[in-house]
Amino acid sequence: MMTIAASRALSNEDVCFVGIGAPSAACNVARLTHAPDITLIYESGTIGTAPSVLPLSIGDGELCETALTTVAVPEMFRYWLQGGRITVGFLGAAQLDKFGNINTTVIGDYHNPKTRLPGGGGAPEIASSSGQIYITMKQSLRGMVEAVDFFTSFGHGEGGDHRQRLGITTRGPTLLITDLAVWTPDPITKEFIVRSMHPGVTREQVQETCGWQVSFDEAVEETPPPTAVEISTLREINERTAKAHGKS
């Protein structure tokens, strides 16, 4: 459900900064179904890649072999990303708050953390320079928190016009897709609102796995289940990937 819901949000005209894992699957399902002309860009510098299997990492040779071109990482960030040429960037989060601020740095106090996480990598730049941000993550009280312990990637800050007050001109997080629901920010407050819940999911389940008081749209819909074409496309690419990587 997460992968298909994310793929549906992409269009033929998008230039997408892809992440590994679920975002990569979503972007490639979109490319193989309703958005054949989407431009997929991976952080390693591959532009216009069209992998037949899902990459293990941003350095997977499959990406370079199928790309239109490959550029140096500094060019990728300075010319393509910071130059405003990316329409959608995908991000995940160890911690996320209701305004789309992301922590992937530390859990607890920065100088004496309970857990030290992998860090930001290119995520802070992606969060600020992509036209808009799509976030994918599994819901949990540990992950969806009232306040993040560290601002790794800036979302909507304190909400409202905080991005604009800081001089950030991009839209920031516009979509949150979890294993239970699809969320979008309120136009004014920028707090994430549940717009649809996946089949069989209840409001109680959404609240029990979220660390802030959840706001629901006045007319919450059911997320449409995958079509036959969408699910077969996803299964086929997963099967090719497993075979290529020597998994049964």
Angle between helices 22-32 and 228-244 (to 10 degrees): 120
Beta bridge partners of 15: 39
Q: How many CB atoms lie within 10 A of CB 57?
A: 10
Cα separation, 2 vs 30, in Å, equals 13
Which tokens sit at 205?
């389940």
Concatenated DSSP letters for 72-138? Answer: -HHHIIIIIITTT--SEEEE--SEE-TT--EE-SEEEETTEEEEE----TTHHHHHHHSSEEEEE--
Q: Which residues are catalytic?
A: 43
Cα separation, 17 vs 127, in Å, equals 11
Cα separation, 140 vs 145, in Å, equals 9
Q: Is 11 helix (H, G, I), strand (E, B) or coil?
A: coil
96, 137 Cβ separation under 8 angstroms: yes
103, 95 Cβ separation under 8 angstroms: yes
